[in-house]
Amino acid sequence: MIPFDFDYYQPSSIQIAVEWFRFLQKLGKNPMYYAGGTEIITWARTNSIHPGAVIDLKSIPECNVMEMQNDKLIIGACVTLSALSAANLFPLLSETAQKVADQTARNKITLGGNICGKIYYREAVLPLLLANSKVIIAGIRGLKETSIHQVFTQQLSLGHGDFLVQTLTDRRYLSLPFVHYKKRQIGNVGYPLVTLAALKVNNRIHTAYSGVCPFPFRSVEIDQALNESSIPLAARIEQAIGKLPAPLLNNVEGSAPYRKFVLKQTMADAVHTLERG
């Protein structure tokens, strides 16, 4: 049960959503954008958040598209992880989505909610970082298209009242060779010890990670180390581990030393597979 009342709004356009957010903010309602609701409901039940109003983005047409337009794959922020996997237009993204949570939760969880969520795994962003995708962000001044690298460092940086509308990915990235490994402490559902997603682009391996540090990331330095094929793989991996952007996570899913062990194995698997392929 959610132990407080809140107002529910379901705008049918981007402009109305942004204007309602601003209006509700002025009324002191502390509004939140709402997509799948899985994180919002969980946190509201435990009294960790107290929105006076939620603005459900799912009736906005632009947030529900999933199609090719001019050699770009456009995915609306409210497309669910189940729909992403089923359509399989970007196989690395499909596989990443398919490994998040369970089927019932994936029927609710949206691409935008996963990327914008406060829980720091945000695995769906990994393929978008690897494919140099662009994002469309709505705000009071209209729509802004920008590279994901400009706005995603640890988390998506949004102005107050802004929301993610769509992601855009060039066709040339969609069918590149890839690997995706998700290692959990136990079972097939739940947050990762280590998730590694990788694409092979122009004979180089590009990697991105979740569960390793307290945020998902892609690192040019790590990729440089892993692609240094003149030295043995074990040495490359040692160098790559030395380039992590933050200390290894140490939490209920696993200790930092155990994560390091799993990460090394996973990097080795990824490089072996993609160097062969």
Ligand X SMILES: Cc1cc2nc3c(=O)[nH]c(=O)nc-3n(C[C@H](O)[C@H](O)[C@H](O)COP(=O)(O)OP(=O)(O)OC[C@H]3O[C@@H](n4cnc5c(N)ncnc54)[C@H](O)[C@@H]3O)c2cc1C
Question: Given the complex with ligand X, which of 82 and 265 has the nearer CB atom?
Answer: 82
Cα-based torsion angle of the residue sequence 114, 119, 121, 126 in order, rounded to the nearest 10 degrees: 30
Does residue 191 bind ligand X (CB under 6 A)?
Answer: yes
Q: Which amino acid is at 19?
A: E
Print the SS3 string covering 244-270: CCCCCCCECCECHHHHHHHHHHHHHHH
- Cα separation, 74 vs 143, whole angstroms: 15
- Region binding ligand X by CB under 6 A among candidate stretches 113-121, 143-151, 171-179, 248-256: 113-121
Residues from 55 through 94 that contact ligand X (CB under 6 A) = 57, 77
Question: Given the complex with ligand X, which of 191 and 225 has the nearer CB atom?
Answer: 191
11, 84, 98, 112: which one binds ligand X (CB under 6 A): 112
Cα R_g (the chain), whole angstroms: 19
What is the number of alpha carbons within 13 Å of residue 149 lying toward its C-beta?
Answer: 10
Does residue 254 bind ligand X (CB under 6 A)?
Answer: no
Q: Which of 93, 96, 99 is nearest to 74 (CA)?
A: 93
Tokens 């770009």 identify what position?
Answer: 72
Does residue 39 bind ligand X (CB under 6 A)?
Answer: yes
17, 18, 24, 40: which one binds ligand X (CB under 6 A): 40
Does residue 208 bind ligand X (CB under 6 A)?
Answer: no
Does residue 217 bind ligand X (CB under 6 A)?
Answer: no
Instruction: Outline where DSSP puts E strands in 38-97.
Output: 53-56, 66-69, 72-76
- Cα separation, 198 vs 264, whole angstroms: 15
Question: Given the complex with ligand X, which of 109 and 226 has the nearer CB atom?
Answer: 109
- Region binding ligand X by CB under 6 A among candidate stretches 16-24, 121-129, 147-155, 252-260: 121-129
User: Which residues lie near ligand X (CB under 6 A)?
Assistant: 32-40, 57, 77, 100-101, 105, 108-110, 112-114, 116-119, 121-123, 158, 163-164, 190-192
